Each structure stands twice: as C-alpha cells, then as structure tokens.
Amino acid sequence: MSMPKGFKSENGYGTSKQFEGKTYHEIADFMQEKGFKMNHSTARNIYIQSLVKVAEELSELYNIKQDSKDLVKIAINPDFQESVRDFMSDINEERKSKNIFNT
C-alpha cells in the first residue's frame, strides 16, 4: 500500500535494515514463527510506537512540550532513529566491556 496522496517525508525514510538490522518483513516472519499474528505493517507500527515513547521521554527530560503529531514526526525521522540505534549500541558495547552480560 502506498503512502497517502500528498504525504511527503521531510527527512526521507529510515528502515531497520538501513541500520544493520532486520527488515519489517523479516521481523514479521520471525514473529509469525513464534506464534504471533503479524505482518510487516504491524512490525513497522510497533517500531514507530516504541520510538514515539522514546521521543516523548526525551521531550519530557528536556522540558520540551510536543504534541502527538510532532512526536510521530520525530519518531519517523531517520536521523532520530539512527541516534537511538547509536545510543543503544554504545550502551551494549559498554556493558560488554564491563562483562555485565557475562556471568
């Protein structure tokens, strides 16, 4: 299904594959194998909803008022997605170096 007529993303589109992850189709297939009813659109929606929560927390942290429309714009921004990915990768590397995961 194509994007609604007249929709234009300001910053392009980010994909999990672009950030060395899985595509939405691969995520949906994995979840279906585990018994969950999911398609690629649902995988994308859950991903975006999660990023909206991150954007909301960051906005609150910095006392910036954002409405829900602005939070979605932030969440679908590939630059924001890359920043979240980088932050999570840094935390993961730090934990590995401190052997937090290795017991």
Q: What is the pLDDT of residues 17-46, one digit of tens each?
A: 555 778 889 999 999 999 999 999 999 999
Q: What is the DSSP letter of 2?
A: P
9 domain residue, yes or no = no
Domains identified in the chain, total number: 1
Domain extent, residue 89, equals 19-97
69 domain residue, yes or no = yes
Contact 56, 74 (CB under 8 A): no
Question: Residue 36: its pLDDT value, please?
Answer: 95
59 domain residue, yes or no = yes
102 domain residue, yes or no = no
68 domain residue, yes or no = yes
pTM: 0.76
- Beta-carbon contacts of residue 16 (< 8 Å; ≥ 6 apart): 22, 23, 24, 27, 47
90 domain residue, yes or no = yes
